């Protein structure tokens, strides 16, 4: 069975609270496209809830629902991407962050919301089994890793505490050595959050590069990352501050290198997307771990019980109609057979003729 790990950062906190989606438009950048597929440049906007199904189709699987977006071309049916990498970068609404990374395609996102890769993940699990492929989900609330059993200890050395992160940030492989920090430094909480997230992504990439057998097993891999440190810096120092500009520059340069490194790791057969999302700034500050396991927020005291029904699966109407009309058909069939048997004339049946007790007359 695949190993699922949820690691919490108990000593590092970020500025977070009540993340309300802004009305501004998010943008999806496709930074690397394998030769086996293609994206139409003028396909128009794509809804955020369709991104996971688009990834499923790109990897060669059937989407969970009919796609309204027609920007993806099928391409080579006998060769599909070996991995998909999605990086979501959060920024304060209205900050107008200009990306400094190279992209091949750019699409506007409608119906902005959290992008979940569950549909693509389930497609891979159904085709190859639960213990196949790599699933890595790194967000500001949790870190989830699904690996085959023999690789389940691959990421055990990733830092899980503030001390571990500080060690990585001051080591030979520190992300601080790759970029000019400018006005940012590790004395600020928001700065540390940003550098820590980038350091984790770099460490994860280094671990994968040292385990080629994991990425060359013929099973598509899924990677999902969320960088919230840019929004933390913008909230802490202001959108127009030098710190915010330096943070935007560092994130753009890092994503450019990260995208190229992932593509090279999978021999240019990895699909890489970067999602720039605008969200409201933090309304207040709370102490919270950078990778804390997400838990549902309790209802506030005195909140009315609205008796709202739970969310139904999108396939529920299909199953309902199957069971409904199958039941109707069987009921009508049973009633028809019972009616025919009830009004059957015994004299017309071969059964009663062959079992007659009358003596045969010569």
| Residue-wise pLDDT tens digits, 234-268 | 999 988 899 999 999 999 999 999 999 989 999 89
pLDDT cut 90: percent of the chain above it = 15
For the segment 160-167, the average pLDDT, to the nearest whole number, is 64
- Residue 87 CA to chain centroid, in angstroms? 10
CA distances from 97 to 1, 75, 92, 249 (A): 42, 33, 9, 9
If you average pLDDT over every residue of the chain, what do you get? 76
Please tell me whether residue 231 adopts helix, strand or coil conformation.
helix
The answer to whether 251 and 191 are in contact (CB under 8 A) is no
pLDDT at 331 exceeding the cut of 90: yes
Please tell me the predicted confidence (pLDDT) of residue 147: 76
Spatial distance between the Cα atoms of 80 and 74, rounded to a whole number of angstroms: 10
For the segment 41-59, the average pLDDT, to the nearest whole number, is 85
With cut-offs at 50, 70 and 90, classify the pLDDT of residue 349: low
Please tell me the predicted confidence (pLDDT) of residue 292: 43
CA distances from 72 to 26, 33, 56, 258 (A): 19, 11, 11, 23
Token pair listed for 342: 């009830």
What would the pLDDT profile of 301-325 be if each residue is shown by its tens digit? 554 455 555 556 667 888 889 999 9
What would the pLDDT profile of 271-300 be if each residue is shown by its tens digit? 999 998 887 654 433 334 444 433 444 554
For the segment 205-220, the average pLDDT, to the nearest whole number, is 83
Spatial distance between the Cα atoms of 53 and 226, rounded to a whole number of angstroms: 19
CA distances from 63 to 111, 116, 146 (A): 19, 14, 22
Listed residue (212, 206, 221, 197) closest to 145, CA to CA: 221
In the chain, what are the domain boundaries? 3-279, 319-353
pLDDT at 92 exceeding the cut of 80: yes
Please tell me the predicted confidence (pLDDT) of residue 116: 76
Spatial distance between the Cα atoms of 280 and 246, rounded to a whole number of angstroms: 20
Higher pLDDT: 255 or 359? It is 255
| Residue 158, φ and ψ in degrees, nearest 5 | -65, 135
Contacts of 283 (CB under 8 A, 6+ apart): 17, 18
pLDDT at 23 exceeding the cut of 80: no
CA distances from 18 to 229, 244, 249, 281, 291 (A): 16, 21, 27, 9, 17
CB atoms within 10 A of CB 294: 13
pLDDT at 3 exceeding the cut of 60: no
Find where tokens 């639960």 sit.
Answer: 130
**For the whole model, what pTM was predicted?**
0.68
Listed residue (86, 91, 71, 87) closest to 24, CA to CA: 91
Spatial distance between the Cα atoms of 131 and 14, rounded to a whole number of angstroms: 33
pLDDT at 45 exceeding the cut of 60: yes
């Amino acid at each position: 069975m695949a190993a699922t790990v949820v690691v919490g950062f108990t000593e590092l906190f970020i500025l977070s609270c009540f993340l309300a989606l802004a009305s501004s438009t998010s943008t999806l950048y496709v930074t690397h496209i394998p030769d086996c597929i293609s994206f139409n440049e003028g396909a128009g906007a794509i809804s955020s809830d369709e991104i996971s199904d688009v990834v499923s189709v790109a990897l060669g699987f059937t989407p969970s629902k009919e796609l309204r977006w027609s920007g993806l071309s099928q391409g080579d049916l006998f060769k599909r991407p070996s991995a998909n990498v999605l990086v979501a970068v959060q920024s304060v609404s209205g900050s107008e962050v200009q990306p400094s990374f190279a992209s091949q395609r750019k699409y506007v996102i409608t119906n902005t919301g959290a992008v979940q890769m569950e549909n693509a993940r389930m497609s891979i699990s159904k085709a190859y089994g639960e213990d196949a492929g790599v699933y890595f989900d790194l967000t500001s609330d949790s870190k989830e890793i699904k690996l085959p059993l023999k690789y389940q200890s691959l990421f055990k050395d990733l830092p899980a505490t503030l001390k571990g992160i500080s060690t990585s940030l001051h080591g030979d492989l520190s992300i601080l050595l790759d970029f000019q920090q400018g006005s940012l430094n590790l004395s600020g909480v928001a700065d540390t959050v940003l550098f820590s997230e980038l350091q984790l992504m770099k460490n994860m990439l280094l671990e994968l590069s040292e385990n080629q057998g994991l990425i060359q097993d013929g099973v598509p891999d899924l990677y999902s990352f969320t960088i919230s440190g840019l929004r933390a810096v913008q909230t802490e120092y202001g959108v127009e501050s030098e710190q915010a500009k330096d943070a935007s520059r560092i994130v753009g340069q890092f994503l450019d290198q990260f995208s190229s490194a992932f593509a090279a790791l999978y021999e240019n057969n990895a699909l890489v997307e970067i999602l720039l999302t605008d969200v409201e700034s933090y309304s207040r500050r709370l102490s919270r771990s950078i990778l804390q396991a997400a838990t549902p927020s309790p209802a506030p005291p005195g909140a009315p019980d609205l008796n709202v029904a739970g969310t139904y699966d999108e396939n529920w109407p299909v199953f309902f109609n199957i069971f409904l009309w199958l039941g109707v058909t069987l009921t009508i069939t049973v009633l028809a057979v019972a009616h025919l048997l009830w009004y059957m004339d015994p004299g017309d049946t071969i059964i009663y003729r062959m079992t007659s007790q009358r003596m045969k007359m010569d």
